[in-house]
């Protein structure tokens, strides 16, 4: 996916759960790193089916999910809801 033109969709209000914030701090990962990848179509470790669903969601305004493993080994999900009014960073298992 071409990331040179900036975000492919709006993320709305961005929040992180307390557990996700701890995982980000523990791994010294800035949330912007994950958010930039998510919004530019680099969805991390999603499978091919989810990648295709994300591309459809970008076209149709649906829910978009990315998965990233940070340096601490924690897996974080970045989820933009279908109305694109909010995006949540959460630790895997919190979904």
DSSP characters for 70-82? -TTS-EEEEEE-T
Q: Which of 89, 83, 85, 3 is nearest to 39 (CA)?
A: 3
In a domain, 4, yes or no: no
Domain of residue 55: give its range: 13-91
Total domains, the chain: 1
pLDDT tens figures, 52-65 = 999 999 999 999 99
Rounded Cα distance between 41 and 55, Å, is 8
In a domain, 3, yes or no: no
Query: Residue 84: pLDDT band by 50, 70, 90 thresholds?
Result: confident
pLDDT tens figures, 18-71 = 999 999 999 999 999 999 999 999 999 999 999 999 999 999 999 999 999 999
In a domain, 5, yes or no: no
In a domain, 81, yes or no: yes
């Amino acid at each position: 996916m071409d990331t040179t033109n900036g975000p492919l969709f709006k993320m709305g209000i961005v929040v992180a759960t307390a557990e996700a914030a701890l995982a980000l701090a523990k791994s010294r990962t800035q949330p912007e790193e994950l958010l930039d990848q998510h919004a530019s179509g680099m969805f991390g470790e999603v499978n091919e089916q989810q990648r295709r669903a994300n591309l459809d969601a970008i076209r149709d305004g649906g829910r978009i999910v990315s998965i990233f493993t940070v340096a601490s080994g924690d897996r974080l999900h970045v989820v933009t809801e279908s109305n694109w009014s909010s995006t949540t960073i959460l630790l895997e298992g919190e979904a």
